[in-house]
Amino acid sequence: MATKAYDKSFREEVYQNVDSGEDVKLCMQCGVCGITCPLRDEMTHGPRQLWSLIRAGKRDEVMNSPDIMLCTSCYSCKVRCPRGVKVIDVMHGLAHYALEQGIVPRKETSKFGKAFWDSIYKTGRVDETEVPMRYTMMAGPIHGIFNMLEMMDIGRALLSHKRMKFKIGPGLPPSKKIKGMKGLKKMLNKAKAMSPGKEG
């Protein structure tokens, strides 16, 4: 069996640089976070094992784990953790930290983040037609159209219930900008400058 050495440097790095990273120290490996996660079947490690890997100094496995970008912030784990570990904060913190290092552990999340950010940055709102269209088209024109066709039924239902505006394609017609877009942009720029990493 492969022998892995416990390495001190990575855990110290996480404790110091990652949002709520020090909480990882407190984990007692009970596994409530992992079993309570609605995405447990999708996760390769789950929070519990990630903490264990951090403490063991497994930098590559942690930084490349898609799990840290798979978290949907449902808060089940954070609410249930008997040790009060802010699981979600650490998961997002790790994602930010990975991106900062130039690692993209899960491309889909990163692309969706870009579409989301772009929509807000350009128009000041999250356009529910625009964002999914741009996200699906990122897979390339042919894959994008197939992906969109798969979603057709949902789209139709949303349209008929007036939950979504009709668009022929991304930016057709262009979304309306909010009032005071200038001020918002200023705020967003500042936030971007403050944040250690950026999604997309």
Partner 1 sequence: MDKNQACYLCKGCGLGEALDFDNLEEVLGESGVSEVKTHDALCSPDGVALIQADVDGGVNAVLIGACSSRVKTDEFNFGSQVIVERASLREQALMCSEAEYEGEETAGEDRQMLAADYLRMSAVKLAKSNVPVPFKLELEPETALMVVGGGVAGINAALAGAKAGVQVYLVEKEAALGGFLGKMAKLAPETPPYQELEDTGLEELVAQVEADGKIKVYTGNTVDKTAGAPGNFTVTLSGGDTFRCGAIVQATGWLPYEPEKLADELAYGSNPGIITNVDMEAKAKAGELGGLGAVAFIQCAGSRDQNHLPYCSAVCCTVSLKQAMMVKEANPEAAVYVIYKDIRTPGQSEEVYREAQRKGVVFIRRDEDYPKISESGGKLAIETMDMTLNDTVEIDELDMVVLATGLKPNNPKVVDAPLVALGMDQEAAKKLAAESKAACDSWSVLNLQYRQGPNLPTLKYAYPDSHFICFPYETRRTGIYTAGTVRRPMRVSQAVEDATGAALKAIQAAHAAAEGVAVHPRSGDMSFPEFAMQRCTQCKRCTEECPFGAINEDEKANPLPNPTRCRRCGVCMGACPERIISFKNYSVDMIGSMIKSIEVPEEDEEKPRVIILACENDALPAIDMAARKGHKWSPYIRFIPVRCLGSVNLVWIADALSSGIDGVMLFGCRHGEDYQCHFIKGSELANVRMSKISETLDRLVLESDRVRVEEISFNEVDRVPEIIAEFMETIEEVGPNPYKGF
Q: Quick one: 52 or 123, whose CB is closer to partner 1?
A: 52
Which span (50-58, 68-76, 88-96, 163-171) binds partner 1, by CB under 8 A?
Answer: 50-58
Question: Is 26 one of the binding residues for partner 1 (CB under 8 A)?
Answer: yes
**Which pair of structure tokens corresponds to residue 181?**
């877009």
Out of 20, 36, 49, 110, which residue is the one contacting partner 1 (CB under 8 A)? 49
- Token pair 């897979």: residue: 139
Residue 60's contacts (CB-CB under 8 Å, 6 or more residues apart) are: none
Question: Is 6 one of the binding residues for partner 1 (CB under 8 A)?
Answer: yes
**H or E segment at 76?**
helix 76-80
Out of 55, 86, 92, 134, which residue is the one contacting partner 1 (CB under 8 A)? 55
Question: Is 16 one of the binding residues for partner 1 (CB under 8 A)?
Answer: no
Nearest to 91 by CA among 151, 130, 43, 146: 43
Question: Is 162 one of the binding residues for partner 1 (CB under 8 A)?
Answer: no
**Which pair of structure tokens corresponds to residue 48?**
């519990």
SS (H, E, C) 136-167: HHCCCHHHHHHHHHHCHHHHHHHHHCCCCCCC
x/- string (CB under 8 A) for partner 1, residues 69-108?
A: --------------x-------------------------
Q: Quick one: 11 or 96, whose CB is closer to partner 1?
A: 11
Q: Quick one: 30 or 151, whose CB is closer to partner 1?
A: 30
Q: Residue 169 forms beta bridges with which residues?
A: 172
Question: Is 121 one of the binding residues for partner 1 (CB under 8 A)?
Answer: no
Residue 100's contacts (CB-CB under 8 Å, 6 or more residues apart) are: 196, 197
Nearest to 21 by CA among 94, 73, 120, 116: 94
Out of 25, 122, 167, 185, which residue is the one contacting partner 1 (CB under 8 A)? 25
Where along the sequence are the contacts to partner 1 (CB under 8 A)?
Answer: 1-6, 8, 11, 15, 25-29, 48-49, 52-53, 55-56, 83
